[in-house]
Amino acid sequence: MPSLTMSLQEMLFSQGFGTRRICSGLVEQGYVAYMQAGEWLNTYDPGQILAIEEAMPFEVQGAHWFYYSKAYLMLHKPTGTECSQKPSTWPSIYSLLPTPLRQRPVKSAVQGVQAVGRLDQDTTGLLLLTDDGQFIHRMSSPKHHVPKVYQVITENEMSATVCEKLSLGVVLNDDPKPVKGHDCKLIEPKHLELTLTEGKYHQVKRMLAAVGHHVVRLHRSRIGNLQLPTDLLPGQWRWLSAADIQQLWMKN
């Protein structure tokens, strides 16, 4: 991607470090460093013009950051959190993110990165966040059939016929059209791996209830071909790499 030019103040504002006045103050107080042509530089001038490239390193008050025109993140959602900016009972997943990611300016009424779909408060696993509306639509729309893989633990043991029923389709109480699992594998008597390409309210739990089983633990392990990294612990987040995004677009 070609470089663009903008002032240091505007660059900080675009990355969510507060109002333009706050960003100006950070520079004037010497809290900001940035990299140009492989060299770390400092300035007290908020109007300093920079050549900006994707993933350009910079520091604010000693914290290391990278410039991204759009933010793409993965989060290992822990249990007991809500995918809402205004949670009703449990802490918000957004409280796990640093303030600049929650303040990135966007054209819509809601600031910052947004979750791509939702997971229930007691569901753990891979969650994507971004401020790119087209990316959210591409990953969420059932028209694109992006597979989501869930590890399902049930209260009682299951037989192989459970996967057969889920693959053929089950009827949920508010939808006369059968809902099918894209793929289903019985891993252990109380553990199956279920792949879905659409998302309905409490879908996995309701599908298992339709075949007579109660879900006691639910974990999303993969979206598309992007697997939740084993070293990303519950509550931790990281930027999506170009390779990660390519994994999301790849056909299964």
b/e 122-154 (16+ beta carbons within 10 angstroms → b): ebbbbbbbbbbeebbeebbeeeeebbbbbbbeb
Strand-pair category, 63-66 with 170-172 = unpaired
Specify the pairing of strand 114-115 against strand 123-130.
Answer: antiparallel
Query: Which listed residue (45, 120, 131, 231) is catalytic?
Result: 120
C-alpha to C-alpha distances, 21 to 12, 17, 68, 141, 149, nearest whole angstrom: 11, 10, 21, 39, 45
231 is catalytic: no
Sign (positive/negative) of CA torsion 46, 47, 51, 54?
positive
Number of helices and strands in the chain (H, E):
7, 17
CB 104 within 8 A of CB 131: yes
Task: Give catalytic residue positions.
Answer: 120
